[in-house]
């Protein structure tokens, strides 16, 4: 099938040649040697999707230690939206480490932290007074958002949803839905976490169920099982990440947010994966005009440096007593410098607009492929997502039965052909596409061709 796509992604300069190139078998000898050393010293529970080891990465490519160049459709899980070695980020990091790497913001503060907070106050939805506190990981941001909501409301219950992913610390494991591999045998989990039904249009028993109706279904359960006056927070990913890139039906999020507001419940949007231009807007909440009380952010924020944030209503964050929020490394100055350069790069290159253009390119191709493979009777059950956060849900042809085996095989086939593709989903049957937002258009199309061929061959 030939598909002509008029160029819609402005060309960008890059340091590494933006091409796929297989120099050895995959994995090559140098990667195999590292794999052996790793097995002797690295914990077996910490696994990698790729059997190859990185040597360099830039724009839309990752080069491994054997000289193979892969097309990156994963961005280190939605982190390197500006590329893995964006020049402005690299320069900002180099400049900052030459001055100081750390003082601890709780001991000797510095301007970079304040600048990041100023940026986040501007960029996050809503024009109310906001405050920010910085941490290192997404899980830490979620933990702290829950701490803030509980303290500010004097209530304890936290509502999370089916298919949710919020991290791997004790509280965030409890907030996460899926047991394997995240939770199994790691309990007991923190109390006062209540799981509610998500809006999952593709798998809804009643396909006519609207977003507001799906929200009422959850709200009724919250009222019956917890009681609004015991509920501190509703915590939700506006587009679910690890759970399968599930986009709730239109009206679901606004209805939940409105109920939260009417009942003094803190509405927390976990935008750790969906934030920072990934979905074609600065934040996924914006697509439906939702203004969260608190937003948790991390992955795309600092161009690969570990930095996370909670930004939200001043009265909520400022309710916390002096010293109640912090951490040794939170808001590290190098990470803050990287974040400022990242946000500047996102603005300069209009990466939100670029994410929208990526959506157009990818959806047109995937929809054509789904038709070619049999439409509703074929293996592609659903195509969904926003911007450059897009997914395919694979099923046994003619059914809605999840097909995790084919999903795994397709991802492995892509890898063997030099294209890094990640999977996700409660049922392990979702192929997710998270290209760096700076990816070259030709490279993106080439990566999609490899994916399409792998899907054709999997039948």
Ligand X SMILES: *Cc1c(COP(=O)(O)O)cnc(C)c1O
Give whichever of 79 and 413 is closer to ligand X, judged by the CB atom. Answer: 79
Alpha-carbon distance 408 to 429, whole Å?
8
| Interaction between residue 119 and ligand X (CB under 6 A) | no
| Interaction between residue 146 and ligand X (CB under 6 A) | no
Please select the residue that binds ligand X; options are 64, 162, 270, 393, rule is CB under 6 A: 270
Alpha-carbon distance 349 to 15, whole Å?
17
For ligand X, which residue has the nearest CB?
A: 138
Q: Least separation, in Å, of the C-beta of 279 and ligand X?
A: 12
| Interaction between residue 273 and ligand X (CB under 6 A) | yes
Maximum pairwise Cα distance, the chain: 63
Give whichever of 137 and 153 is closer to ligand X, judged by the CB atom. Answer: 137
* Token digits of residue 398: 């003619």
Residues found in the chain:
459
Contact yes or no for 425/244 (Cβ under 8 A): yes
Contact yes or no for 437/362 (Cβ under 8 A): no
Please select the residue that binds ligand X; options are 76, 212, 241, 379, rule is CB under 6 A: 241
| Interaction between residue 166 and ligand X (CB under 6 A) | yes
Dihedral angle of Cα 187, 189, 194, 197, to the nearest 10 degrees: -30
Please select the residue that binds ligand X; options are 142, 236, 246, 394, rule is CB under 6 A: 142
Q: Least separation, in Å, of the C-beta of 417 and ligand X?
A: 27
Contact yes or no for 413/454 (Cβ under 8 A): yes
List the one residue out of 248, 203, 278 whose CA is nearest residue 433: 278
| Interaction between residue 59 and ligand X (CB under 6 A) | no
Q: Least separation, in Å, of the C-beta of 179 and ligand X?
A: 17
| Interaction between residue 330 and ligand X (CB under 6 A) | no
* Token digits of residue 408: 């795994």
Judged by CB under 6 A, which stretch of 131-139, 281-289, 386-394, 411-419 contacts ligand X?
A: 131-139
Alpha-carbon distance 102 to 99, whole Å?
9
Q: How many residues bind ligand X (CB under 6 A)?
A: 14
The stretches of 274-424 forming alpha helices (DSSP H) are 314-317, 333-348, 351-372, 404-416
Contact yes or no for 420/50 (Cβ under 8 A): yes
Q: Residue holding tokens 């054709």?
A: 456
Alpha carbon separation from 228 to 171, 292, 437 (Å, rounded)? 21, 18, 40
Share in percent of the chain as helix, strand, coil (round to 5):
40, 15, 45
Q: Least separation, in Å, of the C-beta of 46 and ligand X?
A: 13
| Interaction between residue 415 and ligand X (CB under 6 A) | no
Three-state secondary-structure class, residue 285: helix
Give whichever of 67 and 428 is closer to ligand X, judged by the CB atom. Answer: 428
Give whichever of 63 and 432 is closer to ligand X, judged by the CB atom. Answer: 432
Alpha-carbon distance 449 to 459, whole Å?
16
Judged by CB under 6 A, which stretch of 138-146, 206-214, 223-231, 338-346 contacts ligand X?
A: 138-146
| Interaction between residue 432 and ligand X (CB under 6 A) | no
Please select the residue that binds ligand X; options are 31, 69, 137, 144, rule is CB under 6 A: 137
Q: Least separation, in Å, of the C-beta of 78 and ligand X?
A: 7
Please select the residue that binds ligand X; options are 74, 83, 138, 330, rule is CB under 6 A: 138
Please select the residue that binds ligand X; options are 92, 152, 272, 302, rule is CB under 6 A: 272
Judged by CB under 6 A, which stretch of 92-100, 132-140, 249-257, 316-324 contacts ligand X?
A: 132-140
- What residue ranges bind ligand X (CB under 6 A)? 137-139, 142, 165-167, 237, 241-242, 270, 272-273, 298
């Amino acid at each position: 099938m030939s598909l002509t796509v008029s160029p819609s992604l402005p060309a960008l300069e890059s340091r590494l040649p933006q091409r796929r190139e297989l120099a050895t078998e995959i994995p090559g000898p140098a990667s195999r040697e590292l794999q052996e050393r790793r097995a002797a010293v690295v914990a077996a529970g910490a696994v990698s999707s790729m059997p190859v080891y990185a040597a360099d990465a830039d724009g839309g490519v990752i080069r491994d230690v054997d000289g193979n160049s892969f097309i990156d459709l994963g961005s280190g899980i939605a982190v390197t939206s500006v590329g893995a070695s964006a020049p402005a980020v690299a320069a900002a990091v180099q400049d900052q480490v030459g001055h100081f790497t750390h003082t601890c913001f709780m001991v000797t503060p510095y301007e970079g932290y304040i600048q990041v907070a100023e940026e986040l106050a501007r960029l996050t939805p809503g024009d109310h007074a906001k405050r920010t506190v910085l941490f290192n990981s997404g899980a830490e941001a979620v933990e702290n958002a829950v701490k803030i909501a509980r303290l500010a409301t004097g209530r304890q219950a936290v509502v999370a949803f089916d298919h949710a992913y919020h991290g791997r610390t004790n509280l965030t494991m409890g907030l996460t839905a899926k047991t394997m591999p995240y939770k199994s045998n790691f309990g007991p989990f923190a109390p006062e976490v209540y799981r509610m039904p998500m809006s999952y249009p593709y798998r809804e028993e009643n396909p006519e169920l609207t977003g507001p109706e799906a929200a009422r279904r959850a709200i009724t359960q919250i009222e019956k099982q917890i009681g609004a006056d015991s509920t501190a927070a509703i915590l939700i990913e506006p587009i679910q990440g690890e759970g399968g890139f599930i986009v709730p039906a239109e009206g679901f999020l606004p209805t939940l947010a409105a109920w939260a507001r009417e009942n003094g419940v803190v509405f927390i949007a976990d935008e750790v994966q969906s934030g920072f231009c990934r979905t074609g807007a600065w934040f996924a909440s914006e697509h439906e005009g939702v203004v969260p009380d608190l937003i948790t952010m991390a992955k795309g924020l600092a161009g690969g440096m570990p930095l996370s944030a909670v930004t939200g209503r001043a009265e909520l964050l400022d309710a916390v007593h002096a010293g109640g929020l912090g951490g040794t490394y939170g808001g590290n100055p190098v990470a803050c410098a990287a974040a400022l350069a990242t946000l500047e790069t996102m603005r300069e290159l209009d990466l939100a607009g670029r994410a929208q253009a990526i959506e157009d390119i990818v959806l047109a191709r995937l929809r054509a492929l789904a038709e070619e493979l049999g439409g509703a009777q074929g293996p592609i059950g659903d195509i969904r997502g926003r911007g450059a956060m897009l997914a395919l849900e694979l099923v046994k042809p003619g059914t809605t039965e999840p097909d995790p085996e084919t999903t795994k095989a397709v991802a492995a086939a892509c890898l063997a052909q030099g294209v890094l593709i990640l999977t996700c989903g409660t049922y392990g049957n979702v192929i997710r596409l998270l290209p760096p937002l700076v990816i070259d258009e030709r490279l993106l199309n080439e990566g999609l061709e490899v994916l399409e061929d792998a899907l054709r061959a999997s039948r």
